[in-house]
Amino acid sequence: MAEFVPLGELIEMEEVLAEPIADRVIALLNEAQLYDKDEKLNCLYKVQELIIHKDPSLLDNFMDEVIAFQQDNSPEVRKCVIGFMEEACKKDPGSLSKVVPILQYTMTDENVNILKRVLICVNQLYRLTLEFLLNLKSFSDEIMDMWESMKDIKNQVLDLMESSDNVGVKTQAIKFLESLILLQTKKDVESAESSVAKGTEVEMSLDSIPRSHCLLKISELREEAGMAIGKLLQLTASSTISSVNLITIIVCLTNVAKQRPIHFTTVVQAFELLHANLPPSYSPSQVSSVRKQLKLQVMSLLKQPQSHSCHGQIATLLTDLGYSQAEIAKNTPKLSTETVKKTGSSNRSSEVDNLVKKEPSVDSLPPAPVAVTNPESVANQEPLKPTIIEAIDQLANEIEPLLEPEAVTGLVIESLSRLPSYIPVSFKDSYTPIAAAGTYTQRVHLARLLASQVTSTSKSNSEESDQTRPRDPRKRKYEDDDNMVIEEKKRKLEHELLEDARIRQKELIVEDARKNYVELAQLAILLGFPGTMIDEGMTSLVNAEKKPPSANLVNLTSSSQDTTNETPEENKESTAEKRKAPPVQTPQKLKRIRQFHLSNLQVEISASEKSRMQVASLKRILHAERLAGHHGSSQLRSKVIVTIVTELGGQLKQVLQDFIIGDLKTHYDLAINWLYYEYARDSTGGEQYDNCLTSLLQGARTTLEPRDRLFSKLVLDAPKITPNALQIVKSFCDDEERAFLGLTTLRDLIQKRPANTDLCLHTLLQVTMSEIDMARVQAIHIIKKFYSRPDLSVAIEKFAIQTVQFLLSEYPTFLIQADESSEETAEWTEGYVKLCLGPFLGLVSQNHKLIHELAVVYTGTPATVKRIILKQIEQPVQSLGMGSPELLNVVKNCPVGAETLILRILHILTENAIPTAELVKRVRDLYEKNGQDVRFLIPILNGLEKREVVLVLPKLIKLSPNVVKGVFDRIFSSCQGNHRHAHRHTCNHIFAGEQSSSTCVLTPTDLLIALHNIDCSGDESLMKCVIKATNLCFAEKTIYTQEVLAVVLQQLLEQSPIPTLFMRTVIQSLGVCPRLLNFVLTILNKLITKQVWKQPKVWQGFVKCCEVGKASNTLLCCMHVA
């Protein structure tokens, strides 16, 4: 029902909605100036919502008014203003000119939380600033000042890396440096194509900035990026950095290595150095955390295609960190044919590969002398590498030949004296056996570890000595000379690398031209061009291949190459070669017409070449996604792709699958089109479609997050669910991380795909017996909801009964059915019994008739299973309640052998509630039917009459002491109204006859009197049971107080004859409550008047009581008078 709104409030709401947004913003800003922190924040958030999301045109009008709150004393208000400025810049980049100077000022704030919020904001706005500057055609003074402020902010962030003591501030500064590096460096073509950094790739990069930009200088930005990555690498070797900051740096360097492969080797070397030289101040838990993160990030680097250049270092490092050789081999990426060819034909270092990647064509290659002095090419050739890594490499090369078995043995023996007496816990937890001991790779790794230790020690010693000792001028001169020699060697190496890159690039162009010409020739034949033209073109191409690479380059690219880039000598050579080359002949007119035969024009193509051409064509179409989107032909492109792949098959299916799985969210529509096309065109009985669907689902499993609903969407949108696809969904349910996603997928399939309901329901029912607790509980919860559907209830109930009947076997036979290869017979455990009971007990609360089946099964189960069943039925029985007709019928018609089950059910029902009259009636009938087994009456004692309880009391006290104590507890709790352990102190005010509650069967007074009135004549065992029962009563001192005992003794004294145990109770009462002495003497006097000596046992107690009470003389006088 809708909530009633008064007319006055409704009118006021309509007026507010009708008010212009500008007026509402003004009113909110005025209110914010008057209110305290919480109300002020509420007003500012409303202003942000109205301006940013409702009417962005108001930004210019109210930007200054909102920024004015940056002077507020509350840190929360200042953080809110920073958030407003960030959103404003995202909505209107023109606001950067106002916001950036404010952020520069806020960087000096002393509040740590404000500083962290500013760093987060700057991290977001820096990319926007670069994109904004790129789109501007003219720059005003305001824009220039804004850029200068942004450069000052970058310098301040670098200063915070050293000066700040706050871990959170340093963490945000490190993340900003990561963004700066990615924004101010060039992308790598191969990494972009392979989607290495999928989801984290920064769109903006140094490639987007033109060289002619008057404000953004490429050289300066590249230099800043070099300083930033050098700073991060320097911090990894710092001994004072916190573990949290170190973990952040590891993640940032990993992202840089993935997205900028030019730094891949440097990052791997830095990780290797870090593993060997962790800060000694770290605790064992900190060391474990850092190495765990290092282990994960190095493994992610191994999965990258560019990891083949330093695979040995990564594999050895992962082995030290705990990975096995099988895991490393499994995660090592497979190299493509082009990568293998490139790797096999190049014996150079990784610098040559990086240089070739950075130069797209021969035309853009500058001459060798210019390339040496060009800072960009130098930066592209050699990524930043700290001096310490070079020293480690040099020292490792010297150590490795010395690592002979004798030398290593001597080192070990020398170090034994320095080992601790006990193995440290941290070493024991992190130690892993060396799998490749003695191999060349392990020797190199060991040499690097020793070199890093020696280098770090010598570096610290040299730093200390440099601080206390002046530098020698002669040494400075020698160092300068060495630096000059090193620079000269670098220039020569760069020149050689450039020349080699030129030659290889030219060879590749010639090879590509030949392949392209073959394809064009085949097309020309099909179009009817004369064969002489084709033969002459092929002849000229063959001749060009025999010429030097420079001649080939001139002939193949003369139509597109700018002659201004060639030297005069090159122009002369090309002109001479053109003159020597035979002129291209024009096609002659045919003298006679030959009959056309298609066979004369066909060219034989090998199967491998045909497959290569098909794959290359498909890849070109796949990577033309953005171009097709611009021209509005995405649907046509998708249809062409799926038609080609479905008709041709082969390797094309794997290529399309890899393309889709690489970014499933983006290529989801293409995946669905492929599935429907395969389903419609499959003529193999569904095998091709099944392979397509299962391959996509397997790929989604490896790439998507464990709870990404895109997997469920893919399954639901598929035209048909095959058994193999359903097995993949079930495998999700068997994985603890993906169980929730798998179960929700099965639930949606049952609800939305009627054709697959039976198969999916059967799979869901199997999950209800899963050994994963979360999956089993969730599956049972789902089938309980489906049980209300008539079309599903029969199958669900049949499965539940079948699973509970497994308990009738002596051994868990369902395990043997699940694993036929298992020859061993397992024993019943609590876990196995839970698996069989789970689905059944989940349905009992909805179908009470199933309780009969449980009772029947219980009678035939082994003793171990029975004990476990009694533990597991508490919650289902409570859900049934005492009013369930089926439960009452089970109590009335208890199967033979299910008595303990019925007793457990009765105890559960009456534990915290009074039994109903109907339940008491059924239990009475069961009591009479089963030979008056008094155990059935214990749960319903509170529902019996006082007379009935007194009659069965002799039978009750013959039970075990624990059971008798439980009986008394039930009686006492009925008088208190709550459990005896909850409010036991209330019993101090209980007196005989004062309990008028209808739930109180026997008062404590009545119970003790009833115990004395039990006829024990001739039955010594019963007498002992009564004595034990009275002792239990006296043990309850908070219930049987002095007043209660006085009432009991008084009522027993008035009986005739006096109970046999009366005097024993008097003596016990006197021992518990010494203040009853006068009352006891009065009792003794009354006993004399009753001629106590006529009852021998009572008389013995009387005499003993006189001795205890020391009142024999007075009593003798009374006896004499009597």
Taking only the tens place, the pLDDT of each residue in 103-122 is 888 888 888 898 889 889 98
User: How far is 323 from 317, CA to CA, in rounded Å?
Assistant: 9
Structure tokens at 52: 């940013």
Of residues 868 and 946, more confidence is placed in 868
Residue 15, Ramachandran bin (φ over 0: left; ψ between -120 and 50: alpha; else beta) = alpha
Q: Provide the pLDDT confidence category of residue 566 given band limits of 50, 70 and 90.
A: very low
pLDDT value for 363: 34
Q: Of 630-634, 653-657, 694-698, 1025-1029, which range is least confident?
A: 630-634
Asked if residue 473 has pLDDT above 50, the reply is no
- Per-residue confidence (pLDDT) for residue 711, from 0 to 100: 92
Of 111-125, 323-337, 625-639, highest mean pLDDT: 111-125
Q: What is the pLDDT of residue 467?
A: 47
For residue 885, cis peptide bond before it (omega within 30 degrees of 0): no
Evaluate if residue 654 carries a pLDDT over 80: yes
For 487-507, the pLDDT digits (tens) are 665 666 666 666 666 665 666
Tell me the pTM. 0.44
The DSSP secondary-structure symbol of 424 reads -
Tell me, what's the pLDDT at 958? 82
Share of the chain above pLDDT 70, in %: 72
Q: Which tokens sit at 582?
A: 């035979």
pLDDT, average across residues 636-651: 87
Please tell me the predicted confidence (pLDDT) of residue 601: 60
User: For 149-163, 218-232, 747-761, 1088-1102, which range has the lowest pLDDT when averaged over its residues?
Assistant: 1088-1102
d(CA 750, CA 770): 19
Q: Which of 163-172, 675-684, 1080-1089 has the lowest mean pLDDT?
A: 1080-1089
Residue type, 724: N
- For residues 332-357, average pLDDT: 49
Distance between CA 715 and CA 733 in Å, rounded? 15
> Each residue of 579-628: pLDDT tens digit?
444 443 444 443 445 555 556 666 677 888 888 888 888 888 888 888 77
Mean pLDDT, the chain, as a whole number? 75
Residue 817: what pLDDT?
52
pLDDT for 52: 85
The token pair that represents 776 in the structure block: 């089993």
* Radius of gyration of the chain from its Cα atoms, rounded to whole angstroms: 46
pLDDT band at 355 (very low <50, low <70, confident <90, very high): very low
- Which of 523-527, 816-820, 1093-1097 comes out lowest in average pLDDT? 523-527
**Is the pLDDT reported for residue 666 higher than 70?**
yes
Q: Tell me if 161 sits within 8 A of 172, measured CB to CB.
A: no
Phi, psi dihedrals of residue 346, rounded to the nearest 5°: -120, 120
Pick from 50-54, 946-950, 1110-1114: least confident: 1110-1114
First to last CA, the chain: 87
- Res 697: pLDDT: 92
User: Which two tokens mark 537?
Assistant: 């073109």
Position with higher pLDDT, 630 vs 518: 630
* Residue 743 pLDDT class (50, 70, 90 cuts): very high
| Sign for the pseudo-dihedral over CA of 206, 207, 208, 211 | positive
The predicted model gives 239-261 an average pLDDT of 89
pLDDT at position 585: 40
The two tokens of residue 984 are 């036991």
User: Using 50, 70 and 90 to split pLDDT, how confident is the model at 251?
Assistant: very high
Give the pLDDT of residue 746: 92
Model pLDDT for residues 707-724, shown as the tens digit of each residue: 889 999 999 999 999 999
937-987: pLDDT as tens digits: 888 877 788 888 888 888 888 888 888 888 888 877 766 654 343 333 333
- Name 496's Cβ contacts closer than 8 Å, sequence gap at least 6: none
Express as a percent the part of the chain with pLDDT over 90.
Answer: 6
Specify the amino acid at residue 10: L
Which three-class secondary structure state does DSSP give residue 826? coil
Q: How far apart are CA 354 and CA 657, in angstroms?
A: 29
Q: Which of 367-376, 726-735, 736-745, 774-783 has the lowest mean pLDDT?
A: 367-376
Distance CA 670, CA 693 (A): 13
- The pLDDT of residue 5 is above 70: no
Find which of 250-259, 373-382, 445-454 is predicted with most confidence, using mean pLDDT: 250-259
Instruction: Check whether 996 has a pLDDT greater than 50.
Output: no
Residue 227 has pLDDT above 60, yes or no: yes
For the segment 11-40, what is each residue's pLDDT rounded down to a tens digit?
Answer: 444 444 446 888 888 888 888 888 887 888
467 contacts: CB under 8 Å, gap ≥ 6: none
Instruction: Give CA 228 to chain center in angstroms.
Output: 31
Distances in Å between the Cα of 393 and the Cα atoms of 262, 277, 386, 483 are 18, 16, 11, 18
Range of lowest pLDDT (138-147, 433-442, 1040-1049): 433-442
Q: What is the mean pLDDT of residues 56-69?
A: 85
265 pLDDT above the threshold of 80 = yes
Q: What is the DSSP string of 1017-1068?
A: TT-HHHHHHHHHHHHHHHH-TTTS-HHHHHHHHHHHHTSSSPPTTHHHHHHH
Query: How many angstroms separate the CA atoms of 795 and 758, rounded?
Result: 9
Q: What letter would DSSP give residue 559?
A: T
pLDDT at position 693: 92
Higher pLDDT, 572 or 1033: 1033
Report the distance separating Cα 845 and Cα 896, nearest Å. Answer: 24
SS3 labels along 990-1023: CCCCCCCCCCCCCCHHHHHHHHHCCCCCCCHHHH
As a whole number, mean pLDDT of residues 658-678 equals: 90
Query: What's the pLDDT at 190?
Result: 55
* Six token digits for residue 631: 């021209």
Over residues 1056-1074, the pLDDT tens digits come to 787 877 778 888 878 878 8
Is 217's pLDDT higher than 70? yes
What b/e readout covers 41-52, taking b as 16+ CB neighbours within 10 angstroms? Answer: bebbebbbebbb
**What's residue 164's pLDDT?**
83
Between 346 and 765, residue with greater pLDDT: 765
Give residue 458's pLDDT band: very low, low, confident or very high (50, 70, 90). Answer: low
* The predicted structure's pLDDT at residue 427: 63
Q: What's the pLDDT band for 362 if we cut at 50, 70, 90?
A: very low
